[in-house]
Chains A and B, each alone.
Chain A
């Protein structure tokens, strides 16, 4: 079975079963001579978390930034809720790998940044920012500056900023890669809660196989040179068994092994 056949059958199955919040259609991206993405198509089911997983250089962050409207595809198109993406929009919010917090602004102002740019009045945006600061567990740090917080806390600020604008689609670019292992596990558990509680579509870029299998409803394995979707995996049985049981579930362990087997040859 060739790769392209795999891709076609899987995306067809995905489209039939789920309503897509975000569709990527035949996306290509070239940087001069370098081909970052070639003819990539992928569906992102509404209300679920889809991970883009792959070795470095497979174009997963590029695809995410194209969905965000931060990069223009060389060809192809992105649709969010049936509308074609031409740039950043209020239906999408981004969580950055390096947090991208403004160091001269307090936690409150950082979280309220998106609302401020949308022209929400000061009192209302502060109230909403405070609500989300509490929700990510940073109550009491409203007036702290980013440099006074730990790495994990800073990413919580980044997450609160993205939640505060109440976009339907949350784009997360390796959000937990710059925090320590324990904080990361806590984040992953919180993320599962968040997917369950918020009716949002999550697109999550990661290079950690375990992380992808742990948090995702759907995992798209991307392979480099040229970049393509090689496989789509939808874990089924362990999602509802509770956060403590996922890591010893046989299906979880099998999927992790399976993914490693297919990625192994691409890692130098």
Chain B
């Protein structure tokens, strides 16, 4: 029942935005604007093009970082999942990366790579990659043994077993990792603009706060969340198209 699902999603959004509106009207803080004020600010920024110029800047490290994290993350994850040696070699690095307090490490990155695009891309990657690698390797290692035996007994080559059996079998968890990783990448992109140099959306947030234009600040934050949600929905569509039967697992007898 897609209509019911859509209705519930809209209801959930309405409750969230309603609560925001109420909280803004009380107000909970002088620095917290209402939902409508923020939307008005977003509308204004859309009209004068500020938001597009900002995203042209922000999307650069975000897109590059997310692309690198997805491709490299899945590749390393496969490798780590298929070989014990690489598991021991690489897994600790990504576990440390995932647990590291990134904000504290940013000065080190700036020292090494400057304040340009490289550092920002790295921040996005550090945020996004570990969960992609760890999910992929875990899923690959947990491929049901009987699937692999089936492949071997029907004469599948090693490559075919990886491409036709292991990757599709791991795909739900790989995609779960991608969703988490990419959301983290969005956070990383904004974090890098707040902590390294204020450009793009990070610049709108920093600047609006400095001149106490809180509706614009929250409009910018809202827009990045909206973009992330849209992107994650797109990812879900891709997953459903690629691996249709995986949507539901076996029904019990």
Contacts and interface: CB of A to CB of B under 8 A. Distances in A.
Contacts of B160: 117
B245 A106 contact: yes
A70 B250 contact: no
Given A147-B248, A161-B154, A100 B253 contact: no
B243 interface: yes
A202 interface: no
B245 A70 contact: no
Given A103-B250, A104-B168, A88 B155 contact: yes
Nearest to A161: B154
At the interface, is chain B mostly helix, strand, loop or mixed? helix
B14 interface: no
A118 interface: yes
B169 to A, nearest CB: 8
Interface in B151-208: 151-157, 160, 164-165, 168-169, 171
A96 B171 contact: no
Contacts of B1: none
A88 B152 contact: yes
B246 interface: yes
Interface residues of B, number: 27
A114 interface: yes
A45 interface: no
Contacts, number: 77
A218 to B, nearest CB: 23
B253 A145 contact: no
B236 interface: no
Contact of A113 (B154, B243, B248): B154
Interface stretch (B4-12, B142-150, B214-222): B142-150
A146 interface: yes
Interface in A59-118: 65, 68-70, 87-90, 92-94, 96-98, 100, 102-106, 113-114, 117-118
Interface of A: 65, 68-70, 87-90, 92-94, 96-98, 100, 102-106, 113-114, 117-118, 145-147, 150-151, 161, 165, 178-180
Nearest 7 CB-CB pairs, A to B?
A: A145-B245, A100-B150, A114-B154, A94-B153, A104-B245, A100-B146, A151-B253
Interface of B: 144, 146-147, 149-157, 160, 164-165, 168-169, 171, 243-246, 248-251, 253
